[in-house]
Structure 1
């Protein structure tokens, strides 16, 4: 068996997203709903300019989606609870030269009492059936935002996600690693101790890695660097750097760490922010990057430009997405181009 999860920067045939159709993702007022639609559309319309995109849409929201989206975007009607396709959709892989999709168990980020997931738990199957892509089932509760790979078998995860008792009670590191090897071809799993502070509170994912650290095409690891000791993520950043500095990749080589600054903004109306420039989306010829109308936006975009030479950096104000619990990476999922 030869399975591999390609890196995000490898060529894509398509991007997948889900439209904010119902619930808290839309918000409690007409203005908040329109804000969500405009922001999801800004990301989607940036993507469709560079590669095909399919958008899952709840049947009740098709009209609103079509009014905001570039007409080239394919709409796939499917009942939805939320709009975090990275987490509810499949993880696409190269399965011995053929495209396949891993369908994780999704249970609302650890069966959290504020979440609903009956419809989202079926989103991956709907996408795979529509695309006629073989499904690889898994007994592990996992989300796409909880894993990141260099495309060569090295994976970043967090102890608070895959080992979460609300997700996989009784699972050990070894069992998680075995399942990542079976489904994604993982050869080396690097365990980070936790995610960012806000994401670890009641309305978070309990520690997704995709706002903490990520690999880049040049073999570097971008690390969220909270430089202000007033923010509790200052300690988290130090812990993550310590683990990564001592780690090696699947081939036994050291990791080249590159700090990407956290935004200068420390708090919003709800508490400590978990805004992160790590949560960008890499697609054919471009990077859709989170910005926050923040003093550190320009420096972070320079880091991304250096990390992805030759790609256009497309900034999108991600504050409305983070207000709802995620970022640009959380609402997108790549379908890699697989060549036998």
Structure 2
């Protein structure tokens, strides 16, 4: 019975309340913070669980009164109001019962790289970055370019940006993978549609506690920046490349004129990439990948096609087709994509959890 699954959450919430009033816990700031956070995460679930149990009990009581000469009509009226509430409450509670992704509240590093398609792919990197930027603006997020490598005909061969705000990773984690574009390039005289692709990586930001990179495990190379930017670009060895020796993961930054600033940015990127690699390894070792993501979250997985001639966006993971590509790309109306993706992810997670 679904009602019986709810009691452990209520019991745990009550247990935490008692613990928080204990003098031993009050003197242990770390433990108190940990318990307060756990209780906060249970508050909504427990509130809905209590309402569900009250409603279920009231339905049972009214069913027993249906044969009563005096109270039967009143009980029938109550049931008409109460019974539709139960399925809606159950759906809400199932979502609240799902395990939380510990990275959902984190800021991210968004990495966009041009793949097959040359110049056209580099131009599409710029278009996709503009799409995410417009969505971020509407969501009240802050977006800042950390590093970029310009394309030969415009756009970017590679772009790394930091996106900060509430629930950034929770929404954007589904964007990791290969994004394919089909359109007629400006340079195409015959009007033929070309197919290009870019890779999107969404990496949760981490702090020193989560990823402790030992100085002896990091190799640092300095070199002169390349690309446009004026005469000062190539006069000093300001560009920095950091290599994490145990994993071979590399981060290179050359955007700043200061070697110190480039090193700080490169270290931030390196830590996030090492963390992401470990996270992917854990996901590969468990059968519960779908609790965290739609699909595998692999950078090599083709997740979406943007077809400009047909004004069509297709997300291949859930079979979603939208004829609103101009609105999504120009206005950042990604809600049209995110809401079905999240609904699908929740459905899969509920199935897997056996709720």
* Structure having the higher Rg: 2
TM over 0.5: no
Q: TM-score, normalized by length of structure 1?
A: 0.29
Q: TM-score, with normalisation over the residues of structure 2?
A: 0.28
Q: Which one scores higher on RCO, CA 8 angstroms, separation ≥ 6? A: 1
Q: Which structure has greater helix proportion?
A: 2
